[in-house]
Amino acid sequence: MARESESGLPIEPVYGPETLQGWDPADKLGEPGAYPFTRGVYPSMYTGRPWTMRQYAGFGTAVESNARYKQLIANGTMGLSVAFDLPTQMGHDSDAPIAHGEVGKVGVAIDSIDDMRVLFDGIPLDKVSTSMTINAPASLLLLLYQLVAEEQGVSADRLTGTIQNDVLKEYIARGTYIFPPKPSLRLIADIFKYCRSEIPKWNTISISGYHMAEAGASPAQEIAFTLADGIEYVRTAVAAGMDVDDFAPRLSFFFVARTTILEEVAKFRAARRIWARVMREEFGAKNPKSLMLRFHTQTAGVQLTAQQPEVNLVRVAVQGLAAVLGGTQSLHTNSFDEAIALPTDKSARLALRTQQVLAYETDVTATVDPFAGSYVIEKMTDDVEAAAVELMRKVEDLGGAVAAIEHGFQKNEIERSAYRIAQETDSGERVVVGVNRFQLDEEEPYEPLRVDPAIEAQQAQRLAKLRAERDQAAVDSALADLKKAAEGTDNVLYPMREALKARATVGEVCNALRDVWGTYVPSDAF
């Protein structure tokens, strides 16, 4: 009996040449590092060096997160991924009434350049690659990072890393938006231009399907809606007067890795192929780097369970293997206890060790694209590609990603997929070990990491001290310049940098832009 994939596509028990009628491997696959990049974006892939091993971390105060980063670096991590708390993600200061109860909970609280200095104290920013999971206020956090690096004596042209900066998926699946779509896209175009001149090695956006997948998107939906968002960003930058080859090589993507290894491998291969074709055929990109879909992967947090949490170690290892076999450029492996609370030092170390076992104890880095030519993988790649392309066509028929968001199309499609998954889990058709099968009569006790609630008061004290010490006239002048740029067509990042340098807070800068651009209110279609 045939099974179905996460995208609802058939998985046949046996595959052979007869399932691939008309398929010429030379036409579809090409060579690794060559168009259409089905087999990977680099000729040698991991045979030359492994993927970048990142660990997503950040909690409480900048002091606590700084200590965790130093531990991760000592344990062999090759890149930092910063998690910010909810008020920071929404552009609010820690002492704002709306921030009450959320300070430092799901990430680190960053209110000003003072916090950013502490966060990266003693960490050589010319030697680490830093990814920041921040969207609507991404420009602010990038500028704070640049300012702190320059204080360390590291020039901006030596900085490497990524800002997520993908606001469209916030309207679809996550909700940490601030401004309406039009000014948000203008801000992203300003970031592209600024980084081209000031921080040329920085990846200016990480177009994310991960959060859509966490909301319930199937693999086909994940890549379809992510690539549709990517197309919208490219169109925005081109409309702003940029040549596609001036910014496209710095675009990157962010996907999930589930436990369904075969379809995940097929998904990554299909995504590379679609993106290469779109960039060449629609946008006329000439630089091969503009055609490459480079991506970061995170193992699937939504598949982790609070029941028998140690079983998550197995899930994460399988998910990480799927990402590696699919050709990811960097990887974060979740800690086994994340379904319960923030990771402990030990669980974060174990998550990193999982990647190190994959890289150094298995043979998956010995050859490029181990699954190439597999009947099942190539057929599933074709199937996922076709399903994704059809969804992308529907987005285009509605007028593109923003128009489809306004119609609620992506959100409704994802909700239907999530409902199907919930039904299958509730009925037992979809097995979740420890949840609907193989349960324990009594769960073993586990002591999670707790965030000190006093952090909110500590951050409020730091903000009061900052406001008392700084040159308020300089802050007011810089914020006025920022508003003037936002009202016109000048790049807002230059006056924004001056405001942050003068110790304006994240909330004050975002409020200045709110005064000009307003805030986004979802339509009834949502």
Q: Mean of the pLDDT values across residues 100-122?
A: 95
Task: Please give the residue that has the higher pLDDT: either 14 or 399.
Answer: 399
3-state helix, strand, coil in the chain (%, to 5): 50, 10, 40
The confidence band for 19, taking pLDDT boundaries of 50, 70 and 90, is: low
In whole angstroms, what is the distance from residue 158 CA to residue 125 CA?
9
The confidence band for 202, taking pLDDT boundaries of 50, 70 and 90, is: very high
pLDDT of res. 185: 97
- Residue 216 belongs to a domain: yes
Residue 435 has pLDDT above 90, yes or no: yes
Residue 23 has pLDDT above 80, yes or no: no
Instruction: List the structure tokens of 41.
Output: 């974006």
- Residue 437 belongs to a domain: no
- Residue 164 belongs to a domain: yes
In whole angstroms, what is the distance from residue 270 CA to residue 383 CA?
9
Q: Mean of the pLDDT values across residues 248-258?
A: 97
Task: Please give the residue that has the higher pLDDT: either 71 or 317.
Answer: 317
pLDDT of res. 26: 54
- Residue 338 belongs to a domain: yes
pLDDT of res. 16: 59
pLDDT of res. 526: 39
- Residue 322 belongs to a domain: yes
- Residue 486 belongs to a domain: no
Lowest mean pLDDT among 10-14, 50-54, 65-69, 395-399: 10-14
Give the residue from 199, 210, 187 showing the smallest Cα distance to 295. 210
- Residue 82 belongs to a domain: yes
Burial of 197 by CB count in 10 Å (0-12 exposed, 13-18 middle, 19+ buried)? exposed
In whole angstroms, what is the distance from residue 452 CA to residue 61 CA?
10
pLDDT of res. 460: 97
Task: Please give the residue that has the higher pLDDT: either 208 or 19.
Answer: 208
- Residue 501 belongs to a domain: no
Residue 524 has pLDDT above 60, yes or no: no
pLDDT of res. 452: 82
DSSP β-bridge partners for residue 206: 252
Q: Mean of the pLDDT values across residues 65-74?
A: 90
pLDDT of res. 1: 53
Degrees, nearest 5: CA angle 353-358-360: 85
Cβ atoms of residues 95 and 459 within 8 Å: yes
In whole angstroms, what is the distance from residue 50 CA to residue 358 CA?
10
Q: How confident is the model over 210-250, as pLDDT tens digits? A: 999 999 999 999 999 999 999 999 999 999 999 999 999 99
Lowest mean pLDDT among 1-15, 69-83, 441-455: 1-15
Q: What distance separates the 2 farthest-apart alpha carbons in the chain?
A: 75
Q: Mean of the pLDDT values across residues 289-300?
A: 97
Q: Mean of the pLDDT values across residues 59-68?
A: 89
**Cα 58 off chain centre by:** 15
Burial of 305 by CB count in 10 Å (0-12 exposed, 13-18 middle, 19+ buried)? middle
**How many separate domains does the chain show?**
1
Task: Please give the residue that has the higher pLDDT: either 21 or 31.
Answer: 31
pLDDT of res. 518: 98
The confidence band for 525, taking pLDDT boundaries of 50, 70 and 90, is: very low
Q: Mean of the pLDDT values across residues 26-31?
A: 70
Residue 199 has pLDDT above 70, yes or no: yes
Each residue of 113-129: b (16+ CB within 10 Å) or e?
bbbbbbbbeebebeebb
Instruction: List the structure tokens of 66.
Output: 């700084």
In whole angstroms, what is the distance from residue 382 CA to residue 393 CA?
16
The 10 Å Cβ neighbour count of residue 511 is 17
Cβ atoms of residues 54 and 332 within 8 Å: yes
Highest mean pLDDT range out of 22-36, 73-87, 212-226, 512-526? 212-226
* pLDDT over 90, % of the chain: 84
Structural domain harbouring 101: 3-361+371-427
Close Cβ partners of 223 (under 8 Å, ≥ 6 residues apart): 209, 255, 267, 270, 271, 274, 384, 388
* ω into 36 cis (within 30 of 0): yes
- CATH, residue 305: 3.20.20.240
pLDDT of res. 15: 63
